Amino acid sequence: MNKAFKYRFYPSAEQEILINKTFGCVRFVYNQMLANRKEIYEQLKHDKEALKKQKYVLPSAFKKEFEWLKEVDSLALANAQLNLQTAYRNFFRDKSVGFPKFKSKHHDKKSYTTNNQGGTIRIIDSKTIRLPKLKNVRIKLHRQLPKEATVKSATISKTSTGKYYVSVLVEYEVKTKPVEPTPETVLGLDYSSASLFVDSQANSAEYPKFYRNAEARLKKEQRKLSKRKKGSKNREKQRLKVAKLHEKVANQRKDFLHKLSGQIANACTAVAIEDLNMRGMAQGLKLAKSTNDNGFGMLKTFLAYKLAGQGKQLVLVDKWFPSSKLCRFCQNKNKGLTLADRTWVCGHCGAELQRDVNAAINIKNEGCRMLGIA
């Protein structure tokens, strides 16, 4: 399986300059290529066949015009091209995601990805990693890579608080034996905007709303920031304060979800979950704040690899499966159920149903059916 291992690292002043230059070059190349695509798209959007046959400019073309691009890792530029290709394809598959946007120096994450070519990315010792162009960099190796793992790529990023991280993507064989699921030990999770999820044993995640809790403080500090003079030292100080606050909240959330997903993965033999598009939901239901805050998508990601690491499965139930509307006892479908109905009585068998728990049990049962153990 593929897994990323993220480490903090400490570049020298010289390495820092090169890294930041690479961020800039990657953004530049991405934006240049996007401008080219945009122009072609505007000309040909009504002629699908011609659009399909179009050739786009490649990073190498820019290198002739912009000599300074040669100074940075060429693989980083190639990956920028791949990222744009993916964004572009996503746009054609689903127009609601919108045309890819230009990357901004101030608002987008500073990062680039480079590939391992015959050991150009490797851990040298507990304090050193080798990275293309940067050579040896001081790293905090808080955990080892799995034995016999093949390093595929590394993504170098810088947070708004000025910390550097490298995420090393590796491929390795999981030697754990697959665990046979049983109906009693499969857990169903129903997404809940109020409490992250309710499970098929009627437990809720009791998720602390990290962003909501910090909101008043964040707003206050943000207001202070907007009053500071642009370019002043005090503004930079305040900007850092706001960024650190955001970072703290994000870390709290991540820690919580790591613990929670670990507990679930240890306790069950499989987990069934709805295959929801969280971004679509945030937009569609105008629940943006609570949906973004509760990290259901992140939980899903953590669960997927923690279960896989133990030879267990995460089962994705189709998002059109009517988990809320089915009576779990007689399978009768309550077509008139609305989002506001927290409890309902089955018109067919008369069972009194709690919306979330009923849905979680239906998801679990559907998961068991998909696993072939219903």
Tokens 């790293």 — which residue? 139
- Cα separation, 40 vs 42, in Å, equals 5
**What is the largest distance, in Å, between two alpha-carbon atoms of the chain?**
75
Identify which of residues 170 and 327 has a Cβ nearer to Zn ion in the complex. Answer: 327
Identify which of residues 17 and 349 has a Cβ nearer to Zn ion in the complex. Answer: 349
Check if 274 is active-site.
Answer: yes
DSSP track, 184-229: GGEEEEEEETTTEEEETTS-B-----HHHHHHHHHHHHHHHHHHSP
Q: Which phi and psi angles does 13 have, rounded to 5°?
A: -55, -40
Residues 6+ apart with CB under 8 A from 255: none
Identify which of residues 65 and 352 has a Cβ nearer to Zn ion in the complex. Answer: 352
**Which residues are 199's β-sheet partners?**
189
- Cα separation, 189 vs 202, in Å, equals 10
CB of 151 to Zn ion, least distance (A): 54
Catalytic choice (73, 199, 293, 356): 356
Identify which of residues 250 and 351 has a Cβ nearer to Zn ion in the complex. Answer: 351
- Strands 186-192 and 270-274, bridge-based pairing: parallel
- Cα separation, 350 vs 334, in Å, equals 12
Residues 6+ apart with CB under 8 A from 63: 69, 70
Q: Which helix (H) or strand (E) holds 364?
A: helix 355-371
Identify which of residues 166 and 327 has a Cβ nearer to Zn ion in the complex. Answer: 327
CB of 334 to Zn ion, least distance (A): 9
Check if 47 is active-site.
Answer: no
CB of 337 to Zn ion, least distance (A): 13
Identify which of residues 291 and 334 has a Cβ nearer to Zn ion in the complex. Answer: 334
CB of 327 to Zn ion, least distance (A): 3
CB of 51 to Zn ion, least distance (A): 51
CB of 333 to Zn ion, least distance (A): 10
Identify the CA nearest to 315 among candidates 361, 268, 366: 366
Catalytic choice (73, 190, 199, 366): 190
Identify which of residues 196 and 361 has a Cβ nearer to Zn ion in the complex. Answer: 361
What is the identity of the amino acid at 281? M
Catalytic choice (73, 274, 293, 366): 274
- Would you give the DSSP letter of residue 230? T
CB of 332 to Zn ion, least distance (A): 5
Q: Which helix (H) or strand (E) holds 101?
A: none
- Cα separation, 246 vs 250, in Å, equals 6
Distances (CA, A) of 130 to 117, 137, 239, 295: 12, 6, 32, 33
List residues binding Zn ion (CB under 5 A). 327, 329-330, 332, 346, 348-349, 351
Check if 356 is active-site.
Answer: yes
Identify which of residues 143 and 335 has a Cβ nearer to Zn ion in the complex. Answer: 335
Query: What stretches of 128-176 adopt beta strand conformation (E)?
Result: 128-131, 135-140, 150-158, 164-171
CB of 346 to Zn ion, least distance (A): 3
Q: Which residues are catalytic?
A: 190, 274, 356
